[in-house]
Structure 1
Amino acid sequence: MNRQRRPWRIRRFLILTGGIVICTALGMFFLHEGRAQSDQWASILGLFLNIAAILLTIDTALGVRGGVAAGQQRPDAEYLENLAAAASHSYAAESSVRRLQDPDLLPIDWRLGDRDLMDHPSNIWPDSDVQPPSIQGTSSVLEAYLQLPTSRLVVLGDAGSGKTVAALAFAIESLAVRMPGERVPVVLPVSTWDPDGQDFRSWICSRLVELDPRLSELDRDGIPWARRLASGRDVLPVLDGLDELPTRAKADVLRNLNAVLDREEPIVITCRTEQYRTAVVAGDVLTGAAVIHLQPLRPETLAAYLPRTTRPDSALGSGTKWTPVLQQLGSHPDLPSSRSLATVLSNPLMVWLARVQFSDTDADPAELLRPEFHEPQALRQHLLDGLIAAAYADAGRHHPRRLSAAKAEGWLVYLAARTARSGEQNVRWWQFADGMSLRVLRVVLVVAAIVLAAVAATIVLSVEAGLARGLFFGCLFGTVVGVAVWRIPWLRRRPQPTAVRPTSLTQGPRQVGRVLVVGIIPVAGAVIANVATARMSWDAVGAIIAVFSTVLVGLVAAPVEAEQAVDPWRLLRSDRSSALTQGCLIGFAAGLLATTAAWTTLPTAGTVAMGAAFGISSGLVWSIAGSAWGRLALVRLYWWATGRLPLRLMTFLADAHHRGILRQVGASYQFRHELLQARLAARA
């Protein structure tokens, strides 16, 4: 997408530059001709411009109609298939991280949910002749879903029972059998939706744009393609994690869905059993939805799955190192070790932990039968404790060299304890500064401001006054800036990520950009023309441009909804671009104001140098101290110096996600499971 937009950027730059040049030439010509002659020339030019505008409007209208007539009958079909391809790629990548495809999906067992959690059978199976109607047993959520005339299903289960994996597997299997033009299943984390502040369709639109940014483009009616797809019959929402919302919010979601969903609109929801029961009591059942409850894994399911996850062992004939363990589970199920192992491995999360630590390494799973693990709780903690060592046994995708498991474990323990203290599960890069006390944070920011200002002033002033004087005045200037920064109240605020060009599903930002372009051209032309004809003083020109630059700061940078961002890296790059853009504009405005103000009393080269030093310092201080990206750059140095977190923090988080320790939810990371987070936090 970015490469495709570069020619448009070049055209816009050429149009902007050409407009300024033309307006400048016209301004100088009119000033030279005098007012009387200028009025006549302006009238003549206005007539020709109006004629050109009318012809351009007619040509554009004919072009749009011709393009629509010559185009495909369903222009949204291309966007729908692009969405399907993007969803397939995204879910395949997540499946690879979770090792779901190697060798195959873990079979699941389920039963039909309690009647008090479902709608009336006549609303679910309106034309069924079977009494009472039900769903035939199957190991696939998709096959259960296809048996429902209403195409509405709620998947319930206990903690770690595989609800998220079931939702992901449902989407992958649905995309595999999907025909062109059919609905696209989209997995949507319910935790990113606030029913009180955002309607259901708008929330889906924002998530679709994350999945495929091309859907933010507008159709011929000015409607974003994401809105068109979400409002039609093109998306199958798979709402994962209803239990992650507060109790009142869960009930609001159910009531909201019953109000906005059309009668034939499908939906799939996953939730923990007790939380869903509470939401139903406080709100309502999901109209037309059947409910299934995920069951614990049986020993025969484990016997068919685990041996396929590791290489054959020649010493065991056709078996693997899992064979003796599984044989004991089958032949001696009443032994304490067998009961404990069967209880623990009935949970899909624990099966994944066991696989990571034994199937993918040289470790022997027979140690799971040792006497110290006769209690299921002890065995669960053992599997949780061994995850990090097994996950960091080899070099990761983001680390060319092997990362020490002990070092990684120390960093993860700190992250788990920090998130536990904050009372939430999300690991957000823009909130790392919140872990420092306000006084320590202010000291770090002030020291950074002193260093940046001193270095910038020294470099600039040394060119004019020499190295010795430049160094002296640079250090003095840096100290003054540090004192000023210490007294600035906005250091206490917590900057949120921003973007230079905010992503929105409306035409607002685009209209702002057009207004700015239209405003820049005549203003710049008038200023340059007046200066060239000695009609305006340079200090007045500097004040106008400086004020205009500071106004631009508020227009080019807009807050980003972090919960709606695509991923942490993209949000970080967006905020970095915004911070640097704001810094350049503020530095330019501050330097220009300082120079023009001092030039009237002391018109020397030293004045220009001091103004440049002031402008550069102001821009640097604003970019670093006033942005989420800049504060992350500073606080990660602090955390690294204290040994709590790595210097390459974002790389470490991405690597932990690839290894399966963390999962990614929008622009945030979360520990793979709350049991893992709680276990690590307890070791802090």
Structure 2
Amino acid sequence: MASGDGAWWRTVAAVAGLLGLAGSLALVAAVWLLTGDLATTGSAAGLVGLVLAVIPLGLGLWRWLRSSRAEKAPTSTEVSAAADVLAGLALEQWREEARLRSLYDPHPMPVRWRLTERSTLLTDSATTPPEGTVFDAASLVERFRASERRRLVLMGGPGTGKTTLAVQLVLRLLATREAGEPVPVLLSAADWDPDESPRVQDWLALRLDRDYPALRATALGPHATAKLAGRGYLLPVLDGLDELSEHSRAAALTALNHSLGEDSLILTSRTRDFAQAVSQAGHTLTAATVLVPELLTPKTAVAYLRTCLPTSPGPGWERILHEMTAAASPAAAALRQVCATPLGLWLLRAVYVDTGADPAPLLDSHRFPTSAAVDSHLMEHVLPALIATRPHDSGTAEPFRPRRRHDPAQAGRWLGHLAHRLNQPHLSERPRESHDFAWWHLARHVPPAGTGLLCGTVAGLLIGSAIVLALGTDAGLGTSLVFGGGLGTFGMILVVSEFPAWTREPPAVADLRLAGRGHLLLRLAARNVLTLGLVSGALGGVTGTTVLGLMTGGSGGLVTGLAAGLTIGLVVGPLFGLAVGLIKWIETPAPESRANTPTASYRADRRLNLVRITALGLAGASVGAGASGLMAGSLDEVLRAAALGATLGSVLAILFGRHRAWPAYLGTVCRLAWSERTPLRLMSFLDDAHRLGLLRAVGPIYQFRHARLRDHLAAAYERDEPARPHRA
């Protein structure tokens, strides 16, 4: 440890020693003045000395445990091993995502990329390939590895396959990665605020720590992602620069140039937004090659469709394929224009190829005179088509099928509401143009006052009811109601005031697997039981001696108070120490954990909150029952005290916990489900939407598969929602 830390420790020890000495002298003097008996004073002084001796012992043990965990500088072998772990996790993650997106079914979308004609403005011309060079995903990886700086910008309009190519590049780079090569990690650029994190490495470390918690179980410990980012072991693949605000896009370019050094980078953006960022920043991305997609030719689109169709597709498809190349009518020309992008080709496949529907109506020039009409028609029918072609399966073996059957109209309203929410500025933070959906941010998209009041009312009712039950009729019904109502209201106010902080907290890591982690559980439990037990015993002894001594005014009260305080302290401390140790163990990830996903992140935070509520609730029940038993209470009184302790312990577990994203989400989704704007089991529904291919997952964050699909659903919701009645 640093010398400064040692000076801090000596200061605390000196102050604690002086306070302990002063307190012991004052307490012994009080006994002497109250009793005038030397023997009693000596006994009290001995007990107080025993109590006070426990404090430095506990602090010394705590100091020893901290010093045993002193951080060591990681070796290159340890950093390289952590990078290999990250590469394995990322490869597994993106292979699964590629299967869900059907990126290779039956073949990759035939998109080719070329150098932009605006290279003098948007790229460092000294590093670009010859003009006219065209790449597919495989040749682009080879060119990328052969380049000196390895920096690439993928530009294009909406639906042109930027994200798809980014995923393909990540998969190829991971599958062919050699030892020591940087690990490509695909992240949403919309999640980056360059004003708050001007060093992109700092932001990368935070996001990867969230997305890949298993890295904490490597030899690098909790600083694994920071070490990987700082030592150049990461290749950031930032998707969607255009999702940032206009100011943030320019700031991001500046921050990337200042912080990357010799590090590599792949960036995607819409063409117009990247050009604006370059113009506003006054410079482009240093040493980067900028590529744009070539529009799919009718011949290429027809060839791809034939690979998806059966051998004998039927007269309707034969006419469509012929008309697409001939463009003999306005409808055929419109369809050909739609199929010039990967998004349009995917829509046509999902709505007509996979469903087996007759595509002949698409050649009706009265219904579809323009590409916008064709595009709107396909957008309108893609959700019912995906639900129809992927029937539900309650099992988990098939990743392409939802677990539940969904009504297309209802699913469209629910997704439309979320799309509408994402298109609105966040209510609890400065406006940004981020369209990522993190489940723990749901409460930020809804006015927090109403949800906080809902959660506070539930907490207040629990506290008030438990107090009324504990006091019972012995204190009088009126007195019980007054105390219960007052403390319940106080608890409600606490929850309401704390709720905005809940919406800003990230989700937790939680792992209940015991295999290979039993020794960690024993160590954490023993450490917290020992330290909290000793400290609580000492504090309980001093408190009991002081309180009962002042109440009784005699030496008997002092000794009884000391004994009672020691007993309660040495019971309460270990109980809560055991609960704290269990919670810390759950928050420690296992080395074989997978990459974080939205569902896994949600379940982990829910699991941690439930364990914390249960553990502290049981500890509170034990304390309440023990205290009532020491006061010779009846069985009925002991049970009521246990119920009160369990309620207070559970509420305190939420109020003063470190991770409360799940309670904030739960209150918000209950409120939205009551008004029929989302399902009560929202995360299960979103997982099904992901399985259907409507959503994509980047770590624990959901995104709509295409921005145009998100905007279409939001527009449909905003058009139809005012006419629908809702519960108040």
Give the TM-score taking structure 2 as reference length: 0.70
Give the partner amino acid of 1:672.
Answer: R
Q: Is the 8 A contact 1:396 1:659 kept in 2?
A: no
* Residue 439 of structure 2 corresponds to residue 429 of structure 1: yes
Q: Is the 8 A contact 1:499 1:575 kept in 2?
A: yes
Question: In structure 2, what is the equivalent of residue 122 of structure 1?
Answer: 126
Question: In structure 1, what is the equivalent of residue 458 of structure 2?
Answer: 448
Question: In structure 2, what is the equivalent of residue 617 of structure 1?
Answer: 647
Counterpart Cα distance in 2 of 1:84 and 1:363: 42
* Residue 136 of structure 2 corresponds to residue 139 of structure 1: yes
Counterpart Cα distance in 2 of 1:520 and 1:498: 27
* Residue 299 of structure 2 corresponds to residue 300 of structure 1: yes
Q: Is the 8 A contact 2:613 2:649 kept in 1?
A: yes
Distance of aligned partners of 1:446 and 1:541 in 2 relative to their CA distance in 1, 3 Å threshold: same
Question: In structure 2, what is the equivalent of residue 14 of structure 1?
Answer: none
Question: In structure 1, what is the equivalent of residue 413 of structure 2?
Answer: 410
Distance of aligned partners of 1:456 and 1:667 in 2 relative to their CA distance in 1, 3 Å threshold: farther
Shift of 1:167: 0.6
Shift of 1:305: 0.8
Counterpart Cα distance in 2 of 1:447 and 1:258: 51
Q: Is the 8 A contact 1:217 1:224 kept in 2?
A: no
Distance of aligned partners of 1:476 and 1:553 in 2 relative to their CA distance in 1, 3 Å threshold: farther
Q: Deviations over 1:566-591 (max 9, x none)?
A: 33333333433453455457757877
Counterpart Cα distance in 1 of 2:203 and 2:210: 11
* Residue 285 of structure 2 corresponds to residue 278 of structure 1: no
Shift of 1:632: 3.5
Counterpart Cα distance in 1 of 2:358 and 2:107: 22
Q: Match for 1:101 among 65, 88, 104?
A: 104
Of 432-441 and 286-295, the range deviating more from structure 2: 432-441
Counterpart Cα distance in 2 of 1:633 and 1:471: 34
Distance of aligned partners of 1:230 and 1:435 in 2 relative to their CA distance in 1, 3 Å threshold: closer
Q: Match for 1:536 among 562, 568, 584?
A: 562
Q: Deviations over 1:520-566 (max 9, x none)?
A: 25325657999999561536875898799999999979xx9xxxx93
Distance of aligned partners of 1:428 and 1:499 in 2 relative to their CA distance in 1, 3 Å threshold: closer
Q: SS where residue 688 of structure 2 aligns?
A: helix
Counterpart Cα distance in 2 of 1:501 and 1:150: 36
Distance of aligned partners of 1:635 and 1:266 in 2 relative to their CA distance in 1, 3 Å threshold: closer
Shift of 1:177: 3.1
* Residue 574 of structure 2 corresponds to residue 569 of structure 1: no
Q: Is the 8 A contact 2:124 2:284 kept in 1?
A: no
Question: In structure 2, what is the equivalent of residue 373 of structure 1?
Answer: 368
Distance of aligned partners of 1:211 and 1:433 in 2 relative to their CA distance in 1, 3 Å threshold: closer
Q: Match for 1:347 among 336, 341, 349?
A: 341
Give the TM-score taking structure 1 as reference length: 0.74
Shift of 1:162: 1.0
Q: Match for 1:676 among 709, 712, 727?
A: 709
Q: SS where residue 292 of structure 2 aligns?
A: strand
Q: Deviations over 1:73-122 (max 9, x none)?
A: 93444333332222211111111111101011111133312123344433
Counterpart Cα distance in 2 of 1:403 and 1:581: 32
Of 284-293 and 578-587, the range deviating more from structure 2: 578-587
Q: Is the 8 A contact 1:83 1:211 kept in 2?
A: no
Q: Is the 8 A contact 1:161 1:294 kept in 2?
A: yes
Length, aligned pairs only: 605
Question: In structure 1, what is the equivalent of residue 665 of structure 2?
Answer: 632
Counterpart Cα distance in 2 of 1:457 and 1:362: 64
Distance of aligned partners of 1:432 and 1:85 in 2 relative to their CA distance in 1, 3 Å threshold: closer
Question: In structure 1, what is the equivalent of residue 502 of structure 2?
Answer: 495
Q: SS where residue 536 of structure 1 aligns?
A: helix
Distance of aligned partners of 1:434 and 1:287 in 2 relative to their CA distance in 1, 3 Å threshold: closer
Structure 2 gaps, min length 5:
1-41, 395-401, 427-433, 512-522, 546-558, 588-594, 718-728
Q: Is the 8 A contact 2:415 2:713 kept in 1?
A: yes
Counterpart Cα distance in 2 of 1:75 and 1:246: 39
Q: Is the 8 A contact 2:414 2:677 kept in 1?
A: yes
Distance of aligned partners of 1:629 and 1:475 in 2 relative to their CA distance in 1, 3 Å threshold: farther
Counterpart Cα distance in 1 of 2:253 and 2:446: 39
Q: Is the 8 A contact 1:444 1:634 kept in 2?
A: yes
Give the partner amino acid of 1:660.
Answer: G
Q: Is the 8 A contact 1:156 1:294 kept in 2?
A: yes
Give the partner amino acid of 1:74.
Answer: T
* Residue 391 of structure 2 corresponds to residue 395 of structure 1: yes
Q: Is the 8 A contact 2:462 2:488 kept in 1?
A: no
Shift of 1:623: 6.0
Q: Deviations over 1:314-369 (max 9, x none)?
A: 756xxxx64421211112x2521122111111121121111111221121223322
Question: In structure 2, what is the equivalent of residue 21 of structure 1?
Answer: none
Shift of 1:206: 3.2
**Superposition pairs of residues 576-615 of structure 1, within 5 angstroms:** 576-580=606-610, 583=613, 608-615=638-645
Q: Deviations over 1:436-456 (max 9, x none)?
A: 666754664355346645776
Q: Is the 8 A contact 2:334 2:368 kept in 1?
A: yes
Counterpart Cα distance in 2 of 1:446 and 1:79: 43
Of 195-204 and 289-298, the range deviating more from structure 2: 195-204
Q: Deviations over 1:441-482 (max 9, x none)?
A: 4664355346645776798899x99xxx99999999876665
Counterpart Cα distance in 2 of 1:96 and 1:647: 28
Distance of aligned partners of 1:524 and 1:268 in 2 relative to their CA distance in 1, 3 Å threshold: same
Q: Match for 1:330 among 313, 325, 334?
A: 325
Question: In structure 1, what is the equivalent of residue 188 of structure 2?
Answer: 189
Give the partner amino acid of 2:83.
Answer: L
Shift of 1:207: 3.8
Give the partner amino acid of 2:601.
Answer: L
Counterpart Cα distance in 2 of 1:602 and 1:514: 31
Counterpart Cα distance in 2 of 1:618 and 1:525: 21
Counterpart Cα distance in 2 of 1:307 and 1:219: 51
Give the partner amino acid of 1:138.
Answer: F
Q: Is the 8 A contact 1:656 1:662 kept in 2?
A: yes
Shift of 1:435: 6.2
Question: In structure 2, what is the equivalent of residue 522 of structure 1?
Answer: 534
Counterpart Cα distance in 1 of 2:259 and 2:135: 31
Q: SS where residue 214 of structure 2 aligns?
A: helix
Counterpart Cα distance in 2 of 1:269 and 1:420: 23
Q: CA RMSD in A?
A: 5.0
Shift of 1:135: 6.3
Q: SS where residue 326 of structure 1 aligns?
A: helix
Shift of 1:223: 8.4
Q: Is the 8 A contact 1:395 1:403 kept in 2?
A: no
**Superposition pairs of residues 447-526 of structure 1, within 5 angstroms:** 448-449=458-459, 452=462, 483-488=489-494, 489-490=496-497, 493=500, 495-496=502-503, 497=505, 519-520=531-532, 522-523=534-535, 526=538
Shift of 1:639: 3.6
Distance of aligned partners of 1:643 and 1:224 in 2 relative to their CA distance in 1, 3 Å threshold: closer
Counterpart Cα distance in 2 of 1:34 and 1:454: 42
Shift of 1:601: 9.4
* Residue 209 of structure 2 corresponds to residue 213 of structure 1: no
Counterpart Cα distance in 1 of 2:356 and 2:143: 38
Give the partner amino acid of 2:682.
Answer: L
Q: Is the 8 A contact 2:114 2:291 kept in 1?
A: yes
Q: Is the 8 A contact 1:337 1:374 kept in 2?
A: yes
Q: Is the 8 A contact 1:411 1:644 kept in 2?
A: yes
Q: SS where residue 249 of structure 1 aligns?
A: helix
Of 246-255 and 415-424, the range deviating more from structure 2: 415-424
Structure 1 gaps, min length 5:
1-30, 126-132, 504-510
* Residue 201 of structure 2 corresponds to residue 201 of structure 1: yes
Counterpart Cα distance in 1 of 2:356 and 2:478: 63
